[in-house]
Amino acid sequence: MAIKIEKKIKGYAVVKPEDKAAPVAAPAATPKAAKPEPKQAEVIQMHESVERPETLVGSTFKIKSPLFEHALYVTINDIVLNQGTPHELRRPFEIFINSKNMDHFQWIVALTRIISAVFRKGGDVTFLAEEMKAVFDPRGGYFKSGGVYMPSIVAEIGAVIEQHMKNIGLIVDLEMDESTRKLIAEKRAAYEKASAPQTATPSPAGAGEGRGEGGDASSTNGFPPGATLCAKCNTQALVLMDGCQTCLNCGYSKCG
């Protein structure tokens, strides 16, 4: 069949028999290629998977809170990495909380499983302590032994985890230098000397005062009875000296 070409020819090419078969197969494969693939989440593993050894080393802490009738026993087990080498490290691996009190069994079990999962994931797990210490109980907190204020029982569990991390070297506890210790000792001696005449002759009317939640803490923690709560170290050791609030525990001062 003859075809009349009415337009001007700008170019030409010879079509071979094998070239005719290729365009026929291409349209059949196009629908499959056009189908979008389902999106998949990109899972990033923080470190290699570590199986639980048969034996773990750990520590057990006792928490006696006025919010609970029975004490809580917090056990944190560690995995030893690079054992027997100069690079040996201890890292938290799992946590258990046991108590005779079954009223809070549900959330305690959930908390231990979540914390253990974060421990096993690896990476920087020190944030757990800070996050838990910032949990406040709407009913109010309490003072533990030493005059340290705990806003909730979860916060004290976080303080226990922080203490354990300090014990194994995961958190470096910055020690107070000698000059700061000397300054605090001088301020404490000056405060006790100034308040001695007032406390030497207690009045019968005030004999029953200061026995509340805050009064018991200030009389048994080794700090002056009139001390208030320090915002930096959460210890009832803040006293007014020379018109400035000064902490006799950590050296914090509002006046710098």
Measured distance CA(162)–CA(170) in Å, rounded: 9
| Closest to 70 measured CA to CA, from 98, 108, 103, 100 | 100
pLDDT score at 232: 72
In sequence order, which residues have a C-beta less than 8 Å from that of residue 146 and are 6 or more positions away?
Answer: 221, 235
Two structure tokens written together for 141:
């907190």
**What pLDDT is stored for residue 39 in this prediction?**
65
Residues of the chain with pLDDT under 50: 43, 199-219
DSSP the chain: ------SPP----PPPHHHHHHHHHHHHHHHHHHSPPPP------SS---PPPS--EEEEEEE--TT-SS-EEEEEEEEEESTTSTT-EEEEEEEEEE-S--TTHHHHHHHHHHHHHHHHH-S--THHHHHHHT---TT--EE-TTSBEESSHHHHHHHHHHHHHHHTTSS---PPPHHHHHHHHHHHHHHHHHHHHHHHS--GGGTT-S-SHHHHHHHHSSS-TT-EE-TTT-BEEEEEETTEEEETTT--BTT-
Round to whole Å and give the CA distance between 93 and 90.
9
Residue recorded with tokens 């705990």: 150
For residue 159, the model assigns a pLDDT of: 93
Judge if pTM exceeds 0.75. Answer: no
Output the pLDDT for position 34: 60
Tokens of 107: 């959330």
Q: Which two tokens stand for residue 39?
A: 């999106």
Q: What letter represents residue 59's amino acid? A: S
CA–CA distances in Å: residue 49 to residues 54, 82, 90, 121: 16, 15, 16, 8
- pLDDT value of position 62: 94
Tokens 């029982």 belong to residue: 153
pLDDT of residue 21: 62
**Which pLDDT does position 143 carry in this prediction?**
83
Length of the chain, please?
256
